[in-house]
């Protein structure tokens, strides 16, 4: 256990102005408060806060943090009160101890909700003063270092799991990579002893076979750099067992095939030398494509700066090389703790590097604790890409994010109305995956609404939640309208005046909570209009009452005039959709596909999508347009290729307008140097009108090609 004068000396070494008296008082106070308490290891309990204070001193933190380390368990585990702490050590330390104490009380709640709540409190506490988290991390590190003394195996696992899921990623997020590595490896050893054992054994085997390969490569890199005129300190290490194991899982490869298990670090004096060293290494060895990252010109949000590259090294092995200045290295290892002594901004969290923290707090206030943990695990801890707004603001997104994710990250409204994205000045599809450093300009339109297809490619929780919510309300509104129309039609056939009153009386019988729910059920095809009417007017004579009619018979029985919708061949009251792939129009030959719970989807007979249903003949229904369809409006979809010249888009829309077509949607699906590919949805009466429009477009010189969409 560290003695009182050793601790003071350790602090004085980096902070000569440190208040020695308060350190001494805290040391003695904590020792007396914990008295004869013992840890599970049999050590005096007091050894724990002293070790925590020692870890904080090694991070070169301010006196208040170290005093908090000494006192952090006194309020929770001894008779000391917050009032005592405030009286003896002042309000600042009292606030810090209070923050850490609150977190300790919430720790290790086994059920999901409580653990999530714990995490929520942690984020809130550290958003007020980041030092609360620093003390908590040191506390957790010492507990992990002494984890083996805890006899209860479940409790050990739980502590390790929490460390792995919450504390290690948080340490990384604030740039404390050394802390993160230590926490992660200790947790990994507890949670996956077999996996760790086998990785360690393989590393040992390689070491035996290759001799001291790390030392040889280190020496070789040093020599190459000094030939290039650089005095650099090079160090090499095997990557941690946990990170190797994770990579094996992520890439699904056995250890033998795993490249770069070794990482080398080159430290130089200034930024210019970093790029000089990079040039020297790249000209000496083959570069592994796709591995170069420049976090010097674009630092990570946690202020991490470094050059990363991968090369086929001197021993024909893939190695990772990180190049940075000594100052950058200190930040990389210690993160927010690095500049503590120089900047006396004690714990403030309003700088731009804490934007993520403020966002977390924001999300916290608008979601349940479980959702929050899920969201945070998904987004905060993942590999990220950093894209820029046109004004140069950095938006951090998970890897694989698209312009739609970007738009939602900037503002929900921008996400909802985005129609296109310019990435580095080029208009590209919304599904494009963003790369680090992309500048993204979102094109919006007030007429746009979230599209269901976005859900297939977005990766952020925020975007997905907004899109889903929109689709749900949208679908419900459509089903509601359709269902209401079907019920009204069924009333007419029954000779009844429409009124909601009889429906309200049978809601329970039909398993619906409200009349709107009832309409939605009918719209979705879960109930038929006839079932509803039969329930509402049980006395009414009806042959088909309460009988489920097989589809084939229903088709034979049905005639043109008793349709709830004006397509011949459908069961009365069945919900109907026009397929979005082929956009059938009156005059097209069509076919219906039945989907349980969703009704019938109408496709054109030559739609490519139909191939998917080839093996399910029972789902096909013959349908035809009925005559009164002619009065309604349908949407036809065409794909147009047009030369990329000023005014050409104008010719396209004018030509369509002259033929009486009303454009309901227009979307540039691809844009190259020479051509646009555009998808146009046009409201037309029937296929004849669409054919006329297509013919007119083909006659227009600037238009390269026109095709009707075929699924
Ligand atoms: Mn503790």
**DSSP result, 360-408:** HHHHHTTS-HHHHHHHHHHHTTS-EEEEE-TT--EEEEETT--HHHHHH
CATH 3.40.190.10 assigned to 195-341: no
Contacts of 102 (CB under 8 A, 6+ apart): 121, 125
Give the distance from CA 318 to its chain's centroid.
31
Q: What is the pLDDT of residues 216-248, one digit of tens each?
A: 889 999 999 999 899 899 998 888 888 888 777
**Is residue 27's pLDDT more than 90?**
yes
Dihedral over Cα of 480, 482, 486, 491: its sign: positive
**Is residue 602's pLDDT more than 60?**
yes
The CA 12 to ligand 1 mean position distance, Å, reads: 24
Q: What percent of the chain has pLDDT over 90?
A: 20
**Is residue 343's pLDDT more than 50?**
no
Output the six-digit token pair for 219. 């020496």
Residue 401: left if φ>0, alpha if ψ -120 to 50, beta else—which one? Answer: beta
In this prediction, residue 144 has a pLDDT band, given cuts at 50, 70 and 90, of very high
The CA 139 to ligand 1 mean position distance, Å, reads: 5
Residue 39: left if φ>0, alpha if ψ -120 to 50, beta else—which one? Answer: beta
Which is the catalytic residue, given 40, 43, 76, 359? 76
Q: What is the pLDDT of residues 162-217, one digit of tens each?
A: 888 778 877 877 777 888 889 999 999 999 888 888 888 888 877 777 777 888 88
Q: What is the pLDDT of residues 318-341, one digit of tens each?
A: 888 999 998 888 877 776 665 554
Ion ligand 1 nearby residues (CB, 5 A): 73, 139
**Is residue 346's pLDDT more than 70?**
no
For residues 314 and 210, what is the distance between their CA atoms, to the nearest angstrom? 13
For residues 298 and 276, what is the distance between their CA atoms, to the nearest angstrom? 18
Q: What is the model's pLDDT at position 254?
A: 67
Q: How far is CA 358 from CA 365, 371, 698, in A?
A: 11, 17, 55
User: What's the rounded mean pLDDT across residues 123-144?
Assistant: 82
Superfamily of domain 355-469 in the CATH hierarchy: Beta-grasp domain (3.10.20.30)
User: What's the rounded mean pLDDT across residues 591-599?
Assistant: 75
Q: How far is CA 371 from CA 197, 322, 345, 452, in A?
A: 35, 36, 33, 22
Span of 75-84, 140-149, 519-528, 548-557 with lowest mean pLDDT: 548-557
For residues 489 and 529, what is the distance between their CA atoms, to the nearest angstrom? 8
Contact of 104 with 77, CB cutoff 8 Å: no
> With the CA atoms of 352, 355, 358 and 364 taken in that order, what torsion angle do they form, in degrees rounded to the nearest 10?
180
Reduced to 3 states (helix: H, G, I; strand: E, B; else coil), residue 426 is: strand
In this prediction, residue 370 has a pLDDT band, given cuts at 50, 70 and 90, of low
Q: Which residue has the higher pLDDT, 467 or 353?
A: 467
Q: What is the model's pLDDT at position 662?
A: 86
Catalytic annotation on 76?
A: yes
**Is residue 548's pLDDT more than 50?**
no
Contact of 468 with 451, CB cutoff 8 Å: no
Contacts of 436 (CB under 8 A, 6+ apart): 293, 298, 385, 386, 387
Question: What DSSP line would sit under 88-127, residue for residue?
Answer: HH-HHHHHHHHHHHHHHHHTT--SHHHHHHHHHHHHHHHH
Q: What is the model's pLDDT at position 395?
A: 76
The CA 131 to ligand 1 mean position distance, Å, reads: 15
Contact of 682 with 636, CB cutoff 8 Å: yes
In this prediction, residue 374 has a pLDDT band, given cuts at 50, 70 and 90, of low
In this prediction, residue 22 has a pLDDT band, given cuts at 50, 70 and 90, of very high
The CA 83 to ligand 1 mean position distance, Å, reads: 20
Which is the catalytic residue, given 15, 20, 77, 330? 77
Q: How far is CA 26 from CA 46, 540, 571, 611, in A?
A: 12, 88, 83, 77
For residues 141 and 153, what is the distance between their CA atoms, to the nearest angstrom? 18
- Top CATH class of 4-186 equals mainly alpha
Question: What DSSP line would sit under 567-625, residue for residue?
Answer: EETS-TT--EEE-TTT---BTB-EEEEEETTTEEEEEETT-GGGGGGTT-GGGEEE-EE
Contact of 331 with 305, CB cutoff 8 Å: yes
**Is residue 21's pLDDT more than 60?**
yes
- Tracing tokens 């409204």 back to the chain, one arrives at 413
Contacts of 219 (CB under 8 A, 6+ apart): none
Q: What is the pLDDT of residues 428-473, one digit of tens each?
A: 888 899 876 678 899 988 878 888 788 888 988 888 888 888 877 8
User: What's the rounded mean pLDDT across residues 94-121?
Assistant: 67
Measured in degrees and rounded to the nearest 5, phi and psi for residue 264 equal -125, 145
Q: What is the model's pLDDT at position 543?
A: 43
Q: What is the model's pLDDT at position 358?
A: 59
Measured in degrees and rounded to the nearest 5, phi and psi for residue 381 equal -100, 0
The CA 163 to ligand 1 mean position distance, Å, reads: 14
Neighbours of 436 (CB within 10 A): 14
The CA 49 to ligand 1 mean position distance, Å, reads: 6
The CA 340 to ligand 1 mean position distance, Å, reads: 23
The CA 461 to ligand 1 mean position distance, Å, reads: 34
Q: What is the model's pLDDT at position 552?
A: 32
Contact of 575 with 525, CB cutoff 8 Å: yes
Summary mean pLDDT of the chain: 79
In this prediction, residue 569 has a pLDDT band, given cuts at 50, 70 and 90, of low
Measured in degrees and rounded to the nearest 5, phi and psi for residue 500 equal -85, -15
Q: What is the model's pLDDT at position 354?
A: 55
Q: How far is CA 584 from CA 373, 593, 616, 668, in A?
A: 45, 13, 21, 22
Contact of 141 with 179, CB cutoff 8 Å: yes
Q: Which residue has the higher pLDDT, 20 or 608?
A: 20
Domain boundaries, the chain: 4-186, 195-341, 355-469, 473-627, 633-708
251: part of which helix (H) or strand (E)?
Answer: helix 241-251
Q: Which residue has the higher pLDDT, 336 or 594?
A: 594
The CA 191 to ligand 1 mean position distance, Å, reads: 21
DSSP at 165: I
Catalytic annotation on 516?
A: no
CATH architecture group of domain 633-708: 2-Layer Sandwich (3.30)
Q: What is the model's pLDDT at position 109?
A: 53
The CA 99 to ligand 1 mean position distance, Å, reads: 13
The CA 138 to ligand 1 mean position distance, Å, reads: 9
Q: What is the model's pLDDT at position 300?
A: 76
Q: What is the model's pLDDT at position 338?
A: 57
């Amino acid at each position: 256990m560290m003695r009182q004068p050793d601790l003071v000396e350790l602090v004085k070494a980096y902070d000569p102005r440190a208040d020695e008296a308060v350190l001494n008082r805290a040391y003695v106070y904590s020792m007396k408060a914990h008295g004869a308490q013992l840890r599970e290891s049999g050590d005096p309990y007091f050894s724990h806060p002293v070790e925590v204070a020692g870890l904080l001193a090694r991070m070169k933190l301010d006196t208040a943090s170290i005093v908090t380390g000494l006192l952090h368990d006194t309020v929770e585990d001894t008779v000391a009160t917050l009032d005592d702490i405030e009286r003896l050590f002042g309000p600042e330390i009292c606030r810090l101890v209070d923050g850490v104490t609150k977190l300790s009380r919430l720790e290790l709640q086994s059920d999901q909700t409580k653990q999530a709540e714990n995490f929520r409190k942690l984020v809130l506490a550290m958003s007020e003063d980041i030092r609360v988290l620093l003390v908590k991390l040191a506390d957790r590190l010492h507990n992990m270092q002494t984890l083996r003394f805890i006899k209860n195996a479940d409790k050990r696992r739980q502590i390790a799991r929490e460390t792995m899921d919450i504390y290690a990623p948080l340490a990384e997020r604030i740039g404390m990579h050394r802390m993160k590595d230590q926490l992660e490896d200790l947790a990994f050893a507890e949670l996956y002893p077999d996996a760790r054992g086998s990785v360690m054994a393989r590393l040992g085997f390689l070491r035996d076979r290759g001799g001291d390969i790390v030392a040889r490569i280190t020496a070789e890199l040093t020599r190459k750099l000094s030939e290039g005129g650089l005095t650099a300190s090079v160090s090499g290490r095997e990557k941690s067992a946990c990170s190797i194991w994770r990579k094996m899982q992520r890439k699904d490869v056995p250890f033998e095939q795993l490249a770069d298990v070794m990482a080398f670090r080159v430290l130089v004096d200034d930024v210019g030398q970093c790029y000089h060293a990079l040039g020297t290494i790249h000209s000496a060895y083959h570069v592994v494509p796709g591995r170069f990252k420049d976090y010097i010109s674009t630092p990570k949000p946690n202020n991490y700066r470094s050059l990363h590259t991968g090369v086929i090294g001197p021993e024909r092995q893939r190695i990772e090389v990180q190049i940075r200045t000594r100052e950058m290295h200190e930040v990389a290892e210690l993160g927010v703790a690095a500049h503590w002594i120089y900047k006396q901004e004690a714990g403030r969290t309003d700088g731009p590097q804490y934007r993520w923290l403020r966002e977390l707090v924001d999300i916290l206030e608008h979601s349940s604790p479980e959702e929050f943990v899920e969201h945070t695990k998904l987004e905060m801890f993942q590999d990220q890409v950093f894209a820029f707004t046109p004004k140069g603001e950095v938006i951090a997104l998970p890897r694989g994010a698209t312009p739609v994710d970007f738009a939602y990250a900037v503002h929900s409204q921008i996400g909802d109305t985005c129609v296109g994205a310019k990435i580095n000045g080029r208009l590209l599809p919304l599904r494009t995956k963003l790369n680090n450093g992309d500048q993204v300009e979102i094109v919006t339109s007030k007429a746009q609404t979230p599209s269901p297809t976005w859900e297939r490619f977005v990766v952020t929780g925020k975007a997905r939640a907004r899109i889903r919510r929109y689709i749900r309300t949208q679908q419900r509104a459509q089903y509601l309208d359709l269902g209401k129309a079907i019920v009204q039609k069924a009333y007419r056939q029954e000779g009844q005046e429409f009124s909601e009153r009889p429906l309200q009386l049978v809601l329970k019988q039909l398993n619906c909570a409200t009349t709107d729910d009832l309409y939605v059920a009918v719209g979705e095809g879960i109930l038929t209009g006839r079932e509803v009417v039969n329930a509402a007017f049980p006395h009414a004579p009806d042959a088909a009452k309460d009988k489920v009619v097989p589809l084939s018979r229903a088709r034979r029985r049905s005639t043109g005039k008793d349709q709830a919708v004006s397509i011949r061949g459908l069961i009365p009251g069945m919900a109907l959709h026009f397929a979005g792939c082929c956009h059938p129009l009156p005059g097209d030959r069509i076919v219906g596909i039945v989907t349980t719970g969703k009704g019938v989807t109408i496709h054109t007979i030559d739609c490519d999508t139909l191939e998917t249903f080839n093996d399910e003949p029972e789902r096909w229904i013959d349908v035809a347009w009925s005559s009164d369809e002619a009065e309604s409006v349908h949407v036809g979809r065409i794909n147009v290729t047009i030369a990329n010249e000023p005014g050409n888009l104008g010719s396209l829309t004018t030509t369509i307008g002259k033929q009486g077509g009303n454009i309901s949607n227009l979307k540039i699906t691809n844009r190259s140097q020479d051509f646009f590919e555009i998808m146009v949805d046009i409201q037309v009466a029937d296929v004849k009108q669409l054919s006329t429009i297509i013919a007119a477009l083909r006659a227009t010189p600037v238009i390269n090609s026109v095709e009707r969409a075929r699924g």
